[in-house]
């Protein structure tokens, strides 16, 4: 079975020869049954257009290494509403802002469930979080608590001192490295550490130490790993044989031990945090539990699931966005110059970047928006699942259909964007398009009921880190490296889509003229 072998070779875990033989046997035994069931269920439905499928695996082979690009290419041929069969999972791919608008305005409840993948089940305490919990009253109460109590604009402002301390450490670390002529700053690595530390301080009340940082990065690697059980439920046992599930469980136990330690410190009073506005997320949730301010029962799994949401959703997205910002600014030196001139003009003689200054940096905010348009961290927005059958643009969409919204394709649609492949921050100086999910041609954080609740938190961290790095340092590629026009912009797929080649740059300390 050459086809099976091809699929196996693209998996993140190797199978033994005997495992492959068993797997081949099972594929053969169920082929006829799967095809018959599929034909019976879909013969009477008017489904959206679909690329040709292969037996058993359907369209899985067409996802490629970068699914957002592969699916965009397919949508150009088969349309902005496209039906795929990923193993046994019917999957709808949406590449149109108009269709997203129709869903948000008319069918949002039907599209508000989540599929329940293996990684989320293990890492998110059996879907006891907010991100992957099924839509319903408990989910609404949990999200309300997150939006009002731990991710509100007021709460985000209360963590300004945390951002200032962590970014001051980043600036000092770069100062120490950038002195020599041949010195290189691994900016990608530093951005990851900084983002992790900001999130860890705000969520857990402590810095992300080396061991926890390694475990966190392992979660980022394992979360999007291919799981047989997700696409072929009857093959879930293969994930144990390949080592995927055992590694996920071991990693989850390591994180759980940290969560237990942090929660016990808060409950015992060892970690004092008396300023109500600036309480870390653990302290805030425990305080609400004690005061009866929650609309749901907060048990250990609920608490840990929410904490994991915040850590997974808040760290990698920020560092990835910052990495792409610097790559684009290096490719576009006029934009780099304009952004730095604005930052240094606004800061003036204060020699200190504070968040009130950042709020006056309009061009910097345009740079962030334009980068998120071109390089949205999660280009295929976290999958949804239909709760019931629904008609969409005249097509029948069955219940339990997985739904991908290709934000990457939508945000490069020439129908809405002039020169969509070019980095032009100035487009947002005159455009009223916002990124909070109401303008459907620009949805880096999603839209509707499942819009990301951490928008303010993520933007505050991104903008503050960026303003400091542009203020304190002048950046350029090392002399012997490729020209700015040829900066490697290739992508690697994971929980987020990040730069494949890390940024190793020369940084020169900016000397203020007093």
Q: Per-domain residue ranges for the chain?
A: 2-509
Interatomic CA distance for residues 243 and 141, integer angstroms: 36
Query: What stretch of H or E contains 343?
Result: helix 333-347
What is the pLDDT, as a whole number, of residue 207?
85
Among the listed residues 309, 308, 245, the one whose alpha carbon sits nearest the alpha carbon of residue 117: 245
Query: Would you say residue 22 has pLDDT above 60?
Result: no
What is the pLDDT, as a whole number, of residue 124?
95
Q: Enumerate long-range contacts of 74-78, CB under 8 Å, 24 or more apart.
A: 75/406, 75/409, 77/51, 78/48, 78/49, 78/50, 78/51
Looking only at the bridges linking them, the beta strands covering 89-94 and 402-405 are parallel
Among the listed residues 161, 128, 112, 55, the one whose alpha carbon sits nearest the alpha carbon of residue 296: 128
| Cα 367-475-221 angle, rounded to 5 deg | 70
**In the predicted model, what is the mean pLDDT of residues 174-197?**
87
Confidence of residue 47 (pLDDT cuts 50, 70, 90): very high
Mean of the per-residue pLDDT values for the chain? Answer: 88
Q: Enumerate long-range contacts of 262-269, CB under 8 Å, 24 or more apart.
A: 262/204, 262/205, 262/206, 263/300, 263/303, 263/304, 266/205
Query: Would you say residue 10 has pLDDT above 50?
Result: no
Burial class (CB in 10 A: 0-12, 13-18, 19+), 447: buried
List all residues 6 or more positions away from 60 whose beta carbon is below 8 Å from its beta carbon: 7, 86, 87, 231
In CATH, 2-509 is 1.10.630.10: yes
Give the lowest-confidence range in 141-150, 270-279, 332-341: 270-279
**In the predicted model, what is the mean pLDDT of residues 353-372?**
96
**In the predicted model, what is the mean pLDDT of residues 182-208?**
90
What is the pLDDT, as a whole number, of residue 272?
60
Among the listed residues 219, 227, 211, the one whose alpha carbon sits nearest the alpha carbon of residue 13: 227
Query: Would you say residue 320 has pLDDT above 90?
Result: yes
28 assigned binding-site residue: no
**In the predicted model, what is the mean pLDDT of residues 418-422?**
97
Among the listed residues 132, 119, 135, 81, the one whose alpha carbon sits nearest the alpha carbon of residue 406: 81
List pLDDT tens digits, range 256-315: 999 999 999 999 886 665 555 679 999 999 999 988 888 888 999 999 999 999 988 888
**In the predicted model, what is the mean pLDDT of residues 200-226?**
82
Percent of the chain clearing pLDDT 90 (strictly above): 75
**In the predicted model, what is the mean pLDDT of residues 143-165?**
93
What is the pLDDT, as a whole number, of residue 333?
96
Identify which has the larger pLDDT, 241 or 181. 241
What is the pLDDT, as a whole number, of residue 198?
94
Interatomic CA distance for residues 10 and 61, integer angstroms: 10
- Residue 405: helix, strand or coil by DSSP? strand
List pLDDT tens digits, range 437-494: 999 999 999 999 999 999 999 999 999 999 999 999 999 988 765 555 578 999 999 8
Interatomic CA distance for residues 67 and 63, integer angstroms: 5
Interatomic CA distance for residues 472 and 170, integer angstroms: 11
**In the predicted model, what is the mean pLDDT of residues 216-228?**
87
Confidence of residue 12 (pLDDT cuts 50, 70, 90): very low
Query: What stretch of H or E contains 470?
Result: helix 455-472
Sheet holding 89-94, edge to edge: 81-86, 89-94, 402-405, 384-385
């Amino acid at each position: 079975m050459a086809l099976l072998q091809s699929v196996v070779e693209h998996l993140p875990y190797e199978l033994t020869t005997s495992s492959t033989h068993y797997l081949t046997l099972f594929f053969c035994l169920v082929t006829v049954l799967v095809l018959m069931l599929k034909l019976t269920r879909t013969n009477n439905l008017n489904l959206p257009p679909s690329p040709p499928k292969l037996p058993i695996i359907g369209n899985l082979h067409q996802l490629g290494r970068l699914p957002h690009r592969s699916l965009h290419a397919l949508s150009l041929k088969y349309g902005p509403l496209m039906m795929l069969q990923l193993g046994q999972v019917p999957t709808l791919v949406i590449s149109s802002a108009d269709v997203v608008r129709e869903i948000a305005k008319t069918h949002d409840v039907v599209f508000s469930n989540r599929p329940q993948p293996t990684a989320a089940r293990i890492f998110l305490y059996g879907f006891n979080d907010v991100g992957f919990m099924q839509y319903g009253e408990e989910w609404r109460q949990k999200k309300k608590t997150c939006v009002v109590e731990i991710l509100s604009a007021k709460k985000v402002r209360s963590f300004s001192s945390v951002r200032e301390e962590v970014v001051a450490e980043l600036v000092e670390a770069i100062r120490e490295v950038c002195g020599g002529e041949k010195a290189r700053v691994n900016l990608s690595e530093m951005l990851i550490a900084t983002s992790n530390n900001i999130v860890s301080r705000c969520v857990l009340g402590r810095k992300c130490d080396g061991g926890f940082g390694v475990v966190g990065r392992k979660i980022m690697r394992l979360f999007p790993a291919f799981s047989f059980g997700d696409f072929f439920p009857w093959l879930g046992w293969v994930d144990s044989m390949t080592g995927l599930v055992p590694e996920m469980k071991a990693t989850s136990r390591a994180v759980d031990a940290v969560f237990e330690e942090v929660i016990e410190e808060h409950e015992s009073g060892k970690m004092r945090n008396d300023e109500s506005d600036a309480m870390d997320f653990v302290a805030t949730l425990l305080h609400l539990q004690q005061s009866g301010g929650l609309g749901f029962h907060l048990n250990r799994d609920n608490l840990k699931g929410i904490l994991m949401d915040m850590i997974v959703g808040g760290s990698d997205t920020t560092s990835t966005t910052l990495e792409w910002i610097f790559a684009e600014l290096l490719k576009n030196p006029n934009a780099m110059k304009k952004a730095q001139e604005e930052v240094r003009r606004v800061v003036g003689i204060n020699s200190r970047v504070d968040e009130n200054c950042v709020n006056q940096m309009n061009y910097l905010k345009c740079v962030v928006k334009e980068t998120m348009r071109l390089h949205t961290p999660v280009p295929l927005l976290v999958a949804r699942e239909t709760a019931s059958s629904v008609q969409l643009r005249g097509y029948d969409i069955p219940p339990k259909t997985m739904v991908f919204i290709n934000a990457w394709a939508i945000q490069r649609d020439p129908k809405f964007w002039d020169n969509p492949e070019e980095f032009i921050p100035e487009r947002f100086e005159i455009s009223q398009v916002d990124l909070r999910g109401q303008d459907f041609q620009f949805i880096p954080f999603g839209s509707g009921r499942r819009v990301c609740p951490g928008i303010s938190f993520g933007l505050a961290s991104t903008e503050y880190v960026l303003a400091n790095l542009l203020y304190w340092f002048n950046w350029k590629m090392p002399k012997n490296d490729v020209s700015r026009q040829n900066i490697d912009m290739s992508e690697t797929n994971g929980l987020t889509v990040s730069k494949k080649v890390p940024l190793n740059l020369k940084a020169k300390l900016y000397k203020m003229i007093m």
